[in-house]
Every structure is written in structure tokens, then in C-alpha cells.
Amino acid sequence: MRVSMLVVLSCLIQYTMAQEIPLFIGTYTHTGSQGIYLYMFDKQSGDATMYSSTVSENPSFLARSPEGNTLYAVNETGDSTAALSSFTFDGDALSFVDAIPTNGSYPCHVAVSKQHPIAIVSNYGGGSLTVYRLEENGGLAEQIQHIQQEGSGPNKDRQEASHVHSAFFSPDEKQVYVQNLGTDKITIYRVDRQQDSYSLVEETQLSTPPGGGPRHLVFDEQGNNMYVLLEMTAEIAHYKKDNESWILQYTISINDDGFQGDNGAAEIKRSAEGKFMYATNRGDANTITLFAVDKSGNLERKKVYPTEGEGPRNFNLTPDGHFLLVANQKTNNITVFERNQETGELKDTGKQIEVSTPVCIVF
């Protein structure tokens, strides 16, 4: 009987572990947050259980290593403390490894390559990007490149200077696309490797609609369609690849028809199977929008949902695509939506994760 009970208990533990996955939340720490929060998220019920917190200053954007055992966080400050930090993850807690300055103020995004031992940080305030070489164990080896961008845009309040907002690797990871909100430009760099040395080499620049402010982007799986989220106009600019050139097809609003108010588009993501796309808008909207993607890559706006909070920033889908979580920065809550994988539609579960100033969600 005792052996049978032990077997049952072991099976229950294994089932629970398989059902729960780690959920990392990045925050701003000026209102009392500790830094990075680790929750265990139940893939079946949508419940989240607080597990631990890790002290880190303004870890506003997070990224995991391809193996999942290292977490990277930008420390978004306006002085010399601005840095990229790395942490090991043993399945239970984060442990600080090291940090290297970004040499640019207010870093707001980090991209980690799946193929190359490099990470790229975008410095919004400094208008620059910083490239790091990574150790085999995921640690930060050294800063290998710092690229300053220059320019301005037509919006004199927001585009008075260069503001690099993100960098994304192309699907084949041969290139890096860098979005500059301040200049309405996307700069495309080639990932150059000479033996064990890496660098980014500028290939070309792509202009986005004036005054839009490119923030983030996504590609389709083949890299033939690119969707650029324009923060200030809350639009998605859809580009198609023609040989080696990107051709703008159209822009589509992430707002309902007739919306009037301030915009602040924040995040765009594609579902794993490629049939749907989502984008958040802050300002007066506080919404997340569902788009259907047809076989040619064109977008159709299907539905706009309130995020049940204010200031929706980053959001993320669970690896199985069953849930979508939205971080509402201003109301200190994360809304848990259940997602219909056939239609892409979202349903508010009524479940909220209460955490101070959440701005980034990583599974």
C-alpha cells in the first residue's frame, strides 16, 4: 500500500510540474516593485502562483536564451547604470550572473540570437544599439559593438532625435532589423562572422510612414512578409519582399473605426501557426486587437478587445497558444485571456495577476 501511495504521489507531482510553466514578469521599480517576478503558470486553468522575486533596477524588457536556462534583462535607466543583466534559471529561481553597461541611456529592448552567441540591446534615449558576445553558458562575455544612429522626424515632440526602439533577427538570422522611432527608419544590418568574431554591417535603410514611429515588428515564417508596428499612429505597416527589396503594401489601424484619442501602440506578435496577429494600444484606447492573416499574408482586422487595465505594454502567448496575457502598466495588473486557437478570438477569464508596473511577459 505504501509503495502504491508513493507511486501515486510521484505521478501527481510529475503531472503538476508538466502542467505548470515558468512565467517571468519585468517591471519598473520606481513605484515599489522589486524587479523581476517569477510565477508558475498553470496551462490548464490559467492560474498563476507567485514563486519568487529578483532584485533588478527597471528590468523593462526580458528575453530568454534558446535553451531557457538564462534570462536577460535591460536595466532601463537614464545614466551610467543602464545595463544588460544576465541571470541563470535553475527551474526554481533566478541567480544574478553579471551586468555590462549599454553605453546608451534608457535601454528598452534586447534580442537574443538562436544561432549566434550574440545579444543586441536598443537604447531608446541614447539613440543607439549595443552588441554583446555571449558565453557558452549564457553569461555576458563582452560588448563587441556600439552603433550610434542619427536623425529626426516630423513630430518635433517625439522625433527630435534618434530613438532606437528594437532590434529583431530575420527568420534565417542572417540579418538584424533595427527600428528607430525618432527617424521613421528601419536599418537592416548583416550579421558578419569572421571565425569567432561577430559584428553588424549596415546593408540598407527602409523608410516607414512619416510620423508613425516604428516600434516593433514581426515576420512571417518564410521572411516574405514584414509587419511593422507604428507607435504614434497605432498602425501596422505591411511590407512584402520583392527580390531583395521591401515594398510597402498598406497600413492598417489597430483601432476600431471612428476611434478618437491618443495612441501609444506597444506590442505586436504573431500566433505560432501564423494565422493570427495581435497588437496592443495604450493612450486612450487600452486595447488589444486581433487580425486574421490570409494565405498571401494580408491582414484583416477582426476584433478589438479592452485589456481590462490601463497602459497595455508587452503581451505574450503561452507556448501552447491556449492563453494570452497582457501587462497593464498603469493599473498594476496582468489580464489573462483564453484564446480560441481556431478563430484567434480572446475571452477574458476574469483572472488577474496583480503586480506593480508590469511591462514585459516572458514564458
- Encode the chain (363 residues) as per-residue pLDDT tens digits: 555 555 555 544 554 557 999 999 999 999 889 999 999 999 999 999 999 999 999 999 999 999 999 999 999 999 999 999 999 999 989 999 999 999 999 999 999 999 999 999 999 999 999 999 999 989 999 999 999 999 999 999 999 999 999 999 999 999 999 999 999 999 999 999 999 899 999 999 999 999 999 999 999 999 999 999 999 999 999 999 999 899 999 999 999 999 999 999 999 999 999 999 999 999 999 999 999 999 999 999 999 999 999 999 999 999 999 999 999 999 999 999 999 999 999 999 999 999 999 999 999
Exposure letters 252-291 (e unless 16+ CB within 10 A, then b) = bbbbeeebeeebbbbbbbbbeeebbbbbbbbbebbbbbbb
DSSP letter at 77 equals -
Among residues 153, 205, 217, the alpha carbon closest in space to that of 181 is found at: 153
- Look at the chain and count its residues: 363
Question: In whole angstroms, what is the distance from residue 290 CA to residue 300 CA?
Answer: 9
User: What is the pTM assigned to this prediction?
Assistant: 0.94
With respect to residue 13, please indicate whether it lies within any of the assigned structural domains. Answer: no
- Residues 6+ away with beta carbon under 8 Å from 332: 354, 355, 356, 357, 358
With respect to residue 314, please indicate whether it lies within any of the assigned structural domains. Answer: yes
Q: Which domain holds residue 104?
A: 22-362
With respect to residue 17, please indicate whether it lies within any of the assigned structural domains. Answer: no
- The residues pairing with 191 across neighbouring beta strands, listed in sequence order, are 200
Cα 112 vs. chain centroid, distance in angstroms?
A: 11
With respect to residue 257, please indicate whether it lies within any of the assigned structural domains. Answer: yes
With respect to residue 295, please indicate whether it lies within any of the assigned structural domains. Answer: yes
With respect to residue 9, please indicate whether it lies within any of the assigned structural domains. Answer: no
Confidence at residue 18, expressed as pLDDT on a 0 to 100 scale: 75
Do residues 140 and 97 touch, judged by C-beta distance below 8 A? yes
Confidence at residue 93, expressed as pLDDT on a 0 to 100 scale: 92
Confidence at residue 8, expressed as pLDDT on a 0 to 100 scale: 52
> CATH code at 70?
2.130.10.10
With respect to residue 6, please indicate whether it lies within any of the assigned structural domains. Answer: no
Confidence at residue 153, expressed as pLDDT on a 0 to 100 scale: 98
Q: How many domains does the chain have?
A: 1
With respect to residue 14, please indicate whether it lies within any of the assigned structural domains. Answer: no
